[in-house]
Amino acid sequence: MASVWRSSRRDSLLVALAGLQAAAIVAFPAAPVIALGVWWNSNTIAHNFVHRAFFRSQRANLAFSAFLSVLVGVPQALWRDRHLAHHAGVRWGLRVSCQLAVESGLVLFLWVALALEQPRFFALAYLPGYLGGLVLCAMQGYWEHAAGSPVSHYGPIYNWLCFNDGFHAEHHANPSIHWSALSSRIESSASISRWPPLLRWLEVRPLELLEQLVLRTRWMQSWVLRCHRRAFRQLLPQLGDIRRVTIVGGGLFPRTALLLRELAPGASLTILDANPGHLETARPFLKGDAEYRHERYVQGTPLAADLAVLPLCFEGDRAAVYVDPPASALLVHDWVWRRRGAGTVISWFLLKRLNLVRR
């Protein structure tokens, strides 16, 4: 039997679990069972099969790929091309093949058969479960890369249930490595989360969620800029000529950088952010008119700037920053009730003010 498997006998467990998933759907034909199956299979069995086909026989691999296509409702030839394009960092394009045609036909045949023979099950269980599974897969993919690079989770329970899927940075560094060997390839520079992907939103602070909302809503961007513009216009004239500005945490929607480019056009702008994904988000707004530095500001470190700007979500001793500013002038976004130095309200609705302090 060892000759059946291309890489490892351990893959026989994945094949058996695919059959068990099919049996579970027959025994418990409910939307949650279908949704969890689509998500779990796509990120374990199908994902590992994409990278390393399980069987030595090409016919066996084609047959298992067809079975997976029907089981999760996604042609595996399509899934494979799209996923490998993701690893290569290139734009995915549809590639028509005989395998794709056969697998698409099988999925379509299943849907038509279910709609005709079991219309209630198809409408109330299969479709909601299938779409729910795709949503879970989309969430998984987003949170695995939300930091701008692959994020790993080393929790033993998740990695036992999902066949080392948590070793995501390691997988991207070694995409051809068998899933059983990923735990021995720990990436020392990997971004790590204590939460598995579908629960990783628990790490996001409420203020960051609000930033994400502003980022996706154009009218909110305009309103937020208007609120902040009034405050900056009131305080900036007190500083005279500003040549160098360092903005801490200026990613996502970079309102401070946008306003300083407008109100202090001669100043050079430097944005510090510990999240590289935030910096990439900021670039299109500023069109390159800033220096982007992927680093975390260490409190107490002087900044080579005439003006430094700290965000409301600053992680550190805010009171100490007011006492010992990192630059000759410091603008601090703070809660509306915390007035320090020369301050002005940004918005009562946002409960936010802008404080100006100097050395």
Q: Encode pLDDT of 56-68 as tens digits.
A: 999 999 999 999 9
Q: What is the CATH number of domain 208-358?
A: 3.40.50.150
The tokens describing 300, both together, are 């107490």
Q: Which residue would you say has higher pLDDT here, 118 or 211?
A: 118
Nearest Cα to Cα of residue 257 among 230, 235, 287, 277: 287
DSSP one-letter code for 317: -
Backbone φ and ψ for 147, nearest 5 degrees, come out as -85, 0
202/255 Cα distance (integer angstroms) = 25
Q: What percent of the chain has pLDDT over 70?
A: 97
**Residue 2 confidence class, pLDDT cut points 50, 70, 90:** low
Residue 121 has pLDDT above 90, yes or no: yes
Query: 308: exposed, middle or buried (C-beta count within 10 Å: 0-12, 13-18, 19+)?
Result: buried
**Residue 188 confidence class, pLDDT cut points 50, 70, 90:** confident
- Continuous segment of H or E residues that includes residue 152: strand 151-152
Q: Can you give the pLDDT at residue 119?
A: 96
CB 259 within 8 A of CB 233: no
Mean of per-residue pLDDT scores for the chain = 90
Residues of the chain with CATH 3.40.50.150: 208-358
Count other C-beta atoms under 10 Å from residue 218's C-beta: 9
SS3 192: strand
Q: Can you give the pLDDT at residue 205?
A: 67
Q: Which residue would you say has higher pLDDT here, 325 or 19?
A: 19
User: One-letter amino acid identity for 349?
Assistant: F
User: One-letter amino acid identity for 10?
Assistant: R
Q: Which residue would you say has higher pLDDT here, 119 or 219?
A: 119
Count other C-beta atoms under 10 Å from residue 147's C-beta: 19
Q: Can you give the pLDDT at residue 128?
A: 96
Q: Which residues contact 69 (CB under 8 A, 6 or more apart)?
A: 75, 76, 77, 103, 104, 106, 107
> Residue 316: which region, alpha, beta or left (left: phi > 0; alpha: psi -120 to 50)?
left
